[in-house]
């Protein structure tokens, strides 16, 4: 098992940047494919980005492609989401997740953090 804790959320103006971190404990993050998801009020939890165990392959939702970057530092047992050119529609609770397979669907992930709020003002 792995425990995940997100940090780095907050309030930012449109066009600004924010970097989220997901720190793992217990089993190392390097044992898992990792994903970032987000959920706005009244909406489904959707994929933002995913990364393989090695970091060699990444996936991005069309809505964030070119603006967000997922990365991992297995030595620090941490995965990151760099968010640039933020838009008000990016406002949501952001969750990191760990799973045994590189996947898009939330149901394919086994472990979840508690989430961190990102609010983008216009």
Q: pLDDT for 17-70, tens place per residue?
A: 999 999 999 878 888 999 999 999 999 999 999 999 989 999 999 999 999 999
Per DSSP bridges, beta strands 33-39 and 2-7 are unpaired
The pLDDT tens digits for 56-73 are: 999 999 999 999 999 999
* CB 99, CB 64: distance < 8 Å: no
Whole-number Cα distances in Å, 60 to 30, 47, 74, 78: 20, 8, 20, 19
The pLDDT tens digits for 66-120 are: 999 999 998 899 999 999 999 999 999 999 999 999 999 999 999 999 999 999 9
Q: How far apart are CA 24 and CA 37, in angstroms?
A: 16
User: According to the model, what pLDDT value does residue 10 have?
Assistant: 98
HSE value, Cβ hemisphere, 13 Å, CA-based, for 26: 8
| Gap between the terminal Cα atoms of the chain | 40
User: According to the model, what pLDDT value does residue 59 have?
Assistant: 97
User: According to the model, what pLDDT value does residue 31 have?
Assistant: 87
């Amino acid at each position: 098992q792995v425990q995940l804790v997100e940090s780095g959320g907050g309030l930012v103006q449109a066009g600004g940047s924010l970097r989220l971190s997901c720190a793992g404990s217990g089993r190392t993050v390097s044992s898992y494919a990792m994903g970032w998801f987000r959920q706005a009020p009244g909406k489904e939890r959707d994929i933002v980005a995913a990364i393989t165990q090695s970091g060699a392959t990444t996936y991005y939702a069309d809505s964030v492609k070119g603006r967000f970057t997922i990365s991992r530092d297995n030595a620090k047992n941490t995965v990151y989401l760099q968010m640039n050119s933020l838009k008000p529609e990016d406002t949501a609770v952001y969750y990191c997740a760990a799973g045994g397979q590189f996947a898009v669907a939330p149901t394919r992930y086994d472990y979840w953090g508690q989430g961190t709020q990102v609010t983008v003002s216009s």
